Homo-oligomer: A and B are copies of this chain.
Amino acid sequence: MAAATEHALEAAEAACTLRGARLTELRREVLRLVLEAGQPVGAYALLDRLRAGRAGAAPPTVYRALDFLLEQGLIHKVERLNAFIACADAHDHAPHAGHGHAHPHQFFICGRCGDAAEIADASIAAAIAEAARRIGFRPRGATVEVEGLCAACAEAG
């Protein structure tokens, strides 16, 4: 599946260029590591892997790169795991001119195999927006993370 990673990297490159953001060597490398993980991955796990090619890497090195990738909507943070994962459809959501909130999304996290499936369900988003409206709350961003068993694991055991 290295091909998928390469494709995603090229798409990220293109998206950044469109917005005038600089996907530097370091940021590109961190994005590659997140893509290759394929699952939510912690900042320090990324740091360890990053050090394979970059001797002096330290926490700020990886956190700054992650902040950039979050800004660009190329990755998401999984709050329940304090971990990061590549956006499943970074190439789809419109390249806003400015910086950004990530697009609305939800995660279904398997407690057995560790997979995190990203979806963008309009009716969940609508229900949240409606509830917010009802209490006069002005939403700026939402975290929706469901823990449980994925289809494969539920069947297996």
Q: Report A's interface with B, CB cutoff 8 A.
A: 79-80, 106, 108, 110-111, 117, 119, 121, 123-124, 126-128, 130-132, 135-151, 154
Contact = CB atoms under 8 A, between A and B. Distances in A.
A111 B150 CA distance: 33
A100 to B, nearest CB: 14
Contacts of A130: 123
Given A108-B139, A142-B146, 4 more contacts: A123-B131, A136-B150, A137-B146, A140-B149
A154 to B, nearest CB: 5
Given A79-B79, A132-B148, A145-B79, A108 B137 contact: yes
B135 A108 contact: yes
B127 A138 contact: no
A123 B132 contact: no
A144 B143 CA distance: 6
16 contacts: A79-B79, A106-B131, A108-B135, A119-B131, A124-B127, A126-B127, A127-B127, A132-B146, A136-B151, A137-B148, A139-B147, A139-B148, A140-B148, A142-B144, A143-B145, A143-B147
Given A127-B124, A128-B124, A119 B135 contact: yes
Given A127-B124, A147-B140, A108 B132 contact: yes
